Every structure is written in C-alpha cells, then in structure tokens.
Amino acid sequence: MSTNGAALGGGALELPPFSLEIQSLDLGPGIKSVGLELIGTENREPVTGRPAAEIWSAVALALAAGETYAVDFFSHIVRVADFCTAHHIGFRPAAGRCLVLQEPNAQQMRELFERFEPESFGFRVGAIVKQPDAALEANLSKRGLDAYRQAYDRYTFCGILEAKDGWFTLLSDTLWSSEVMRRVRPALLPFGVYLARPQ
C-alpha cells in the first residue's frame, strides 16, 4: 500500500482528501483486468465534479504513456458531437451510433470528463488506434462497452470509465496493477490523492 500521506505528530499520517485504489479484478475466465476506484478518503464515496475530471484525465493520459489513444462514445452522440464542435475537439462518426475522438489534449479531456460525467464511455490505447477498427466500432454501436471484451487483446488496453460511480476498469493482457500504479503515481502528485493497493 502507498504511504503518500503527510506525517503528523506522534508518527500518524494525515491522508489526502482523495484516494485512488488500484486492484486486479475477476471479470470471468480469460479476462485480465485492473480496477481503479476514485473515492473520498474519509467518506469512501465516489469523487465527482471538477476534481474527478481533473484526476481522471491525468490518470488516463498517464496510462497511455505516450501511445496513440482514442475516446469512444456510444450514447447521446448528438450532444457529444455538438460539444466537440463547440470546443474544437476532433471526432469522427463510426458505425452509426459511435463517436471516436482521436487524442483529445489534456484540457479537452478534462472538459469532456466533467461535461459527460453521468455517461459511461471508453478509452483505447495502442498503435492500432491510428486506424479505424470497424469490427469493434460496429460492436460498440450494438453492445456498448461490453464490445471491448472481444477486442482488448489487440490493444495495449481498453478502458471503461464510469466517472459518476468512481470507476475506471482496464482490460489488458499487458498492464498489471503494479504497472498501473507505476504509471499513474507521478500524475497524481498535484492532486492530493492517496494511492493505495487494497490487500
């Protein structure tokens, strides 16, 4: 477990207001996944609003680690498209009911995560993202983010962000919880987040 709290008198630790807990998940046979849960350190409730948007956008970009990435929306796509147009965020329609946002920058990610916090959406990372993935994008239109289960082995990871519930689930054959912690630790330093790995 991380010990990135501030020491108080008597050796006690004053923990930051937010905690990001990272652990391996069991989503069924043959599915490798890691869960990230962003909660208040004291109340154990999901962190929401602007602080969550800032933290999740930093976490997502840290996990991408310089690789090509895209954000997938498969619901309320007219509203998403209007928002992207107004905020100069590039996107392309895919398979009827899917929008793919190719590498929004850090500020754009924060804006998206805050505006569409009630929605669940996807995050794909890997060289293959440079080209349209017709099979996956068609499946996203039909099955939502469950489509990642049949596709994530082609990517470094596919992520499912459910910000209103405080969850970011990663599907990956290559990222273990220890590597996830290593990647996100530097990105969390400005935000007052206690990084933990539940036992």
Please say whether the dihedral angle defined by the alpha carbons of residues 159, 155, 198 and 4, taken in this order, is positive or negative.
Answer: negative
- 192 or 106: which leads in pLDDT: 106
In percent, the amount of the chain with pLDDT more than 70 equals: 93
- Tell me the whole-structure pTM to 2 decimals: 0.89
Give the pLDDT score at 169.
Answer: 96
Name, in order, each residue with C-beta under 8 angstroms of 78's C-beta and a sequence gap of 6 or more.
none
In the beta sheet, which residues pair with residue 34? 24, 170
Residue 12 has pLDDT above 60, yes or no: no
Confidence grade of residue 5 (pLDDT, cut at 50, 70, 90): low
Q: Rounded to an integer, what distance in angstroms lies between the CA atom of residue 81 and that of residue 39?
A: 30
Residue 7 has pLDDT above 60, yes or no: no
Give the pLDDT score at 9.
Answer: 46
Q: What pLDDT digit, counting tens, does each position of 79-104 carry?
A: 999 999 999 999 999 877 899 999 99
Distance of CA 156 to the CA centre of its chain: 13
Confidence grade of residue 199 (pLDDT, cut at 50, 70, 90): low
Contact 98, 141 (CB under 8 A): yes
Residue 107 has pLDDT above 60, yes or no: yes
Name, in order, each residue with C-beta under 8 angstroms of 154's C-beta and a sequence gap of 6 or more.
126, 128, 133
Q: Which DSSP string do the residues of 126-185 spell out, in sequence order?
A: SGGGGS--HHHHHHHHHHGGGGGGGTGGGSSEEEEEEGGGTEEEEE-SS--HHHHHHHHH
Please say whether the dihedral angle defined by the alpha carbons of residues 109, 117, 183 and 189, taken in this order, is positive or negative.
Answer: positive
Q: What pLDDT digit, counting tens, does each position of 130-177 carry?
A: 999 999 999 988 888 889 999 999 999 999 999 999 999 999 999 999
Domain range list for the chain: 21-196
Mark out the alpha helices in 6-87 (DSSP H runs).
49-64, 77-86
Q: What pLDDT digit, counting tens, does each position of 59-72 carry?
A: 999 999 999 999 99
Q: Rounded to an integer, what distance in angstroms lies between the CA atom of residue 155 and that of residue 151?
A: 8
